[in-house]
Amino acid sequence: MIAAAGFAPVVDAAGSLPYHQLHGYIPMPQQSHHMFGAGFLFVGVLLVVEALAGHVWHRNRLRTLIWPATIMVLGGGMLAVVALDPKDKLIHFTIGLIMFAAGWVEFRHRQGEIPRRTADLWIVPALIAGGMEIGVFHFHGSFTSSGTVHILMGLTAALMAPVRVYQTRLLTSMPRHAFMGAMVIILAFELLALGH
Amino acid sequence: MSMRARAIAIGMIGPLVQGAGLLWVLANALLDSGRGLSLRYVSFDPAHLVLFVGILLSFVCLPIALEVAAAAPEDVELELFEREAGSEPAPADEVASAWEAVTE
């Protein structure tokens, strides 16, 4: 969080965008949450399919890389939200950066460049930090439906950390792999259910 | 889990998501029938998005279901992306060993 504060000038620069002129083209916060939910639903289901298909899934390199690539795209999308949404810039920026980096680490792992446990060194803390940011800082202390859903999303993201460690302990386990997919699907439906 | 069961599960997952989206769209139409149907609404409405994701998944998953149905049991074992034993370790492996020592 402290390191991310160093990017404040970049984040502030986005604040000078002519929002009034762009109005009508920019998705509303609720709508961008729904778009992210659709993205997570797509990759979450594909993670379950990957668990069921095993080697068959990885016959195609594109399929192997679709999970980390989608996380990187969603992270990039979150960085775009920083430029388009004047609210909660620092939170969106750090979550976007964390997601992009986590996707890149998973990408390198799937390319065989780094071992799983090295990838987990970044991904597990990233999930906890992401969960904290969504559930605690993005919650804004309001128990409205939006606030409650943000707490649930934060909890889901943070719970993915132990699930990831559990999965790493037996990488050949199909149910453990599918469990992670199910967690991503839960996160997707929380995002889709969000109404501001 | 048999190959046949896996193939059926993979093949049905897209239509299942599509069905959930369709039910959601119908429920919305019943509960809020006065809402107009614009491109912007369809593009961002969660029910329609679930429907679109289901259609996309059906296209992606159908060839995989066919491949799994024709595959041998060893072909559906999960892939390990780890380096093969005997090859030169990457510098990152040392970090991984340290992590392993901490977690075990």
What ipTM was estimated for this complex? 0.78
Q: What is the pLDDT of residues B5-56, one digit of tens each?
A: 899 999 999 999 999 999 998 988 888 766 667 777 777 889 999 999 999 9
Q: Which of A35-49, A57-71, A83-97 has the lowest mean pLDDT?
A: A83-97
Overall CATH class of domain A28-193: mainly alpha
* Residue A102 reports pLDDT greater than 70: yes
Find out whether A51 and B78 touch, Cβ atoms under 8 Å: yes
Q: Which of residues 25-84 of A touch B (CB under 8 A)?
A: 27-28, 30-31, 34-35, 37-38, 41-42, 45-46, 48-49, 51-59, 63-64
Find out whether A187 and A153 touch, Cβ atoms under 8 Å: yes
Contact B92 A45 (CB under 8 A): no
- Helix count (H) and strand count (E) of chain B? 4, 0
- Quick check: pTM over 0.90? no
Q: Which of A22-26, A184-188, B54-58 has the lowest mean pLDDT?
A: A22-26
Flag whether residue B68 sits within 8 Å of chain A, measured between CB atoms: yes
Question: Can you give the residue ranges of every domain in chain A?
Answer: 28-193
Residues of B in contact with A59 (CB under 8 A): 67
Flag whether residue B51 sits within 8 Å of chain A, measured between CB atoms: no
Find out whether A139 and A121 touch, Cβ atoms under 8 Å: no
Dihedral angle over CA of B57, B58, B60, B66, nearest 10: 140
Output DSSP code: residue A85: -
Give the C-alpha separation, B46 to B93, whole Å: 43
Average pLDDT of the segment spanning A174-178: 89
Task: Say which of A37, A116, A172 has its CB closest to residue B46.
Answer: A37
Average pLDDT of the segment spanning B80-104: 56
Q: Which of A16-25, A98-107, B61-70 has the lowest mean pLDDT?
A: A16-25
Residue (of A28, A33, A27) closest to A149 by Cα position? A33
Output DSSP code: residue A56: G
Neighbours of A44 (CB within 10 A): 24
